[in-house]
Structure 1
Amino acid sequence: MKAPRIPKLRVGFILAPRFTLSAFANFVDILRLAADDDDRSRPIRCQWQVLSDTGHPARSSSGIEIRPDAPLSRPKDYDYIVLVGGLLNEQSRIGPEYMDFLRLAAESGVPLVGLCTGVFLLHEAGLLDGYKCCVSWFHHEDFLEQFEGLTPISDQIFVADRDRLTCAGGASSSHLAAFLVDRHLGRAAAQKSLHIMIIDEAQVAENPQPGLPLELRTQDPIVRKALLRIQQRLQNPYSTSELAKSLGVSSRSLERHFQSALKLSPSATAQRIRLARAKSLIERTDRTITDIAHTTGFSDAAHFSRTFSKLEGMAPAAYRAARRSTSQDAD
């Protein structure tokens, strides 16, 4: 009788209360698709288990529950322990049993992975001291408010620093999982998983998050709220008066806050955000310039091209061609 085949990649998941379902699902589906050459989702080359100290189902932020299938024990049974965070409030905290398990895993040399706001929980457990970590641009300021002495990286999709791996969540979870599959099973297995999930190719850690330009970071609470609103409505931009009204302040007051915090007007800041998003789409997609102009709130392609050319010194189409030429030369 043949001895059972030992998986090359074993992952234990800890799901925080109200965890982010997409971060968990994207990560585990990469493992599932890489695990079985016959595409029958059998955990042959990869194995994954949801760990729990109670055995009770974990409820996601969307209300969908996941039933655990293993107790908190023997962290060395796994190659990685993955902590999936959720909404930033008291209900998202994990109990002391989980914190102790994570510390034991770290002491045992088991690498720890933080998905989405799981990085907050890893830091609370004292497990990120001396490490670089990745936080979504959406939660960058929240992280700075809660923790001192550690500046997170919010312009990359994930960060792998020795035995700590963290990512912004969402779609970036699939790329971090593919990075681990590549490491343990090879590039072909990673590419297979990504392609089945209709993802063209693996993104490297340094690829940028589609968020705010770093020069627009600020501690001003009014400006921070305004930046979030601008980001959420790129296709139909606010006027300065509409933005001020949505924040409950006067236009004059909003102008003063922006000038003090960023040395820019609200309208100039919004244009910078829209152009940064457009630049990312030009570099990373095959969408038409007209479509990108519409998506980022420009009245038409001609207006977009003039504005972009003034910033970059070349038209959007020329910029795309130059970037692709540079990329091919690097290959």
Structure 2
Amino acid sequence: MVKMGVIAYDNCYLSSLSGPMDAFQVANAYSCRQLGPSGTQFSWNTVSITGEPVKTSGGISIATDMSIANADVFDLIYLPAFPYQGALAMDKMAEELRPLLDWLVVQWKRGATLVTICTGGFLMAETGLLDGREATTTWWLEKQFHKRYPNVKLNSRAMITEQDRLMCAGAMTSYQNMAVHLIERYATADLAIQCAKAMLIDTSVSAQSPYQNLLMDEASGDPVVAKAQYWLQNHAKENIDQAELAQKMGVSQRTLIRRFKAELDLTPLNYLQNIRIETAKQLLENTTLPLIEVTEHVGYTDISSFSRLFKQRTGLTPAAYRQRFKAKEA
């Protein structure tokens, strides 16, 4: 039997805390139905720093089974997510949870596998254990994570990463994907499939990239870059040359590229491509335009080249993206 410690702390998301336990309860029910009472695969206890109840971000109080000082030895330790409120709030939270973070390091060194999802990745990174290792987090906090933890090999496109008994999953509801992954890992693939079907978990989703907004948080404080962004957004369908764009902005091409990279970690051409991809997403979601017309509308003439770029950035072909995200008619 796999023994799990589920960490509870003030201001964590309730669904992130309880969701995996629900999935393991379903797994145990199916396993016991097949194998009898001895078929239980997972057990868990809730753990907090002091053993006292904690209040989740939604204001619901949760009782816990034990403190970190009195905790058992666990095979898995699961760390839920929380509402990210900026760098200063993260500093304060890391300081308040330092006893817990230090305890996690000790447990990992003793052989436990540490598991987290979404913003819980920030807390796992605070332990220092992710330095030099691959990890993921919620896609919309990619830049904040990379800035705070530059030594972590962040892969925000991934739904789940795993290295050296450190497992991370992507945005909010990825606890479902993580739970199925753990059931498969520690029980059987057949049991994981049964649970996924029972809980309506789409196991075909293996990446966050289809959900990412490629233009999120891209406003620049650099006046030249901001001016170029505005110009590109209003001329995205045109055939744009970087040298010509630089001339319009009153700087050299080399300077424009350097300033774009410094501000957005993108070249002007990459930024233009992202504008076009996001425009295409909207058309695929909200219209029935044929792909050739979508392609032309966003400034491309070669449907094959556009489709390759679209799949490279989103992980899906345009047709697959439309099938998954097309708005339902009222």
Q: Tell me by how many angstroms 1:157 deviates.
A: 0.9
- Change in 2 beyond 3 A, CA 1:151/1:221: farther
- SS of residue in 1 equivalent to 2:213: coil
Amino acid at match of 2:278: I
Pick from 17, 31, 36 the counterpart of residue 24 of structure 1. 17
Q: Which residue of 2 aligns with 1:45?
A: 41
Contact 1:16/1:86 (CA < 8 Å) preserved in 2? no
Give the alignment of 1:221-232 within 5 angstroms: none
Aligned residue in 1 for 2:197: 195
The one-letter code of the counterpart of 1:12 is G
Alpha-carbon distance in structure 2 between the residues aligned to 1:156 and 1:219: 25
Aligned residues: 264
Q: CA deviation at 1:133?
A: 0.6
Alpha carbons of structure 1 residues 56 and 75: separation in structure 2 relative to 1, 3 Å: closer
Worse overlay, 62-71 or 264-273 = 264-273
Report deviation, 1:109: 1.3
CA distance in structure 2 between the partners assigned to 1:202 and 1:301 by the alignment: 25
CA distance in 2, matches of 1:106, 1:147: 20
Cα shift at 1:47: 1.1
CA distance, structure 2, for counterparts of residue 207 and residue 44 of structure 1: 32
20-29 vs 256-265, greater mean Cα deviation: 256-265
Contact in 2 for aligned 1:155/1:208 (Cα 8 Å): yes
Aligned residue for 2:135, secondary structure, equals: coil
2:75 to 76, 79, 94: 79
How big is the shift at 1:34?
A: 0.4
- Aligned twin of 1:122: 124
Q: In the alignment, what sits opposite 1:63?
A: 59
RMSD: 3.9
Secondary structure at the aligned position of 1:154 is classed as coil
| Partners of 2:156 and 2:208 within 8 A in 1 | no
Compared CA separation, residues 221 and 195, structure 1 to 2 (3 A): farther
Change (3 A) 1:151 1:160: closer
Deviations 1:109-158 (A, max 9, x none): 11111221111112211211231111221111111221232241111111
Pick from 4, 7, 22 the counterpart of residue 11 of structure 1. Answer: 4
CA distance in 1, matches of 2:294, 2:138: 28
For 2:104, which of 94, 102, 105 is the aligned residue? 102
Q: What is the TM-score with the length of structure 1 in the denominator?
A: 0.66
Change (3 A) 1:200 1:263: closer
Q: CA deviation at 1:53?
A: 2.6
Identity among equivalent positions (%) equals 19
Taking a change above 3 Å as real, the CA distance of residues 100 and 149 of structure 1, as seen in their structure-2 partners, is closer
Partner SS state of residue 301, structure 1: coil
SS of the residue aligned with 1:77?
Answer: coil
Could you tell me which amino acid in structure 2 is paired with residue 33 of structure 1? V
For the residues of structure 2 that align with 1:195 and 1:186, how far apart are their CA atoms?
A: 15
Q: Deviations over 1:49-102 (max 9, x none)?
A: 210132332222222332212222576632111111312324643523212210
Alignment partner of 1:306 out of 281, 286, 293: 293
Contact preservation (8 Å) 1:18, 1:87 = yes
Structure 2 partner of 1:329: none
- Structure 2 distance, partners of 1:143, 1:272, is 24
**Separation in structure 1 between the aligned mates of residue 163 and residue 71 of structure 2, nearest angstrom:** 20
Change (3 A) 1:222 1:62: farther
- From 259, 280, 285, the equivalent of 1:293 is 285
Instruction: Describe the superposition over 1:20-58 as per-residue Cα deviations: whole angstroms up to 9, x where unpaired.
Output: 23333332222121012268xx99321122101323322
Return closer, same or farther for 1:222/1:143 CA change in 2, 3 Å cut-off.
farther
Q: Is contact 1:85–1:115 with CA below 8 Å preserved after alignment?
A: yes
| Contact 1:103 1:127 (C-alpha < 8 Å) held by counterparts | yes
Say if 1:14 and 1:52, in contact at 8 Å, map to a contact too. yes
Whether 1:273 and 2:278 are equivalent positions in the alignment is yes
Distance in 2 (alpha carbons) for counterparts of 1:85 and 1:200: 21
Who wins on radius of gyration, i.e. which is larger?
A: 2
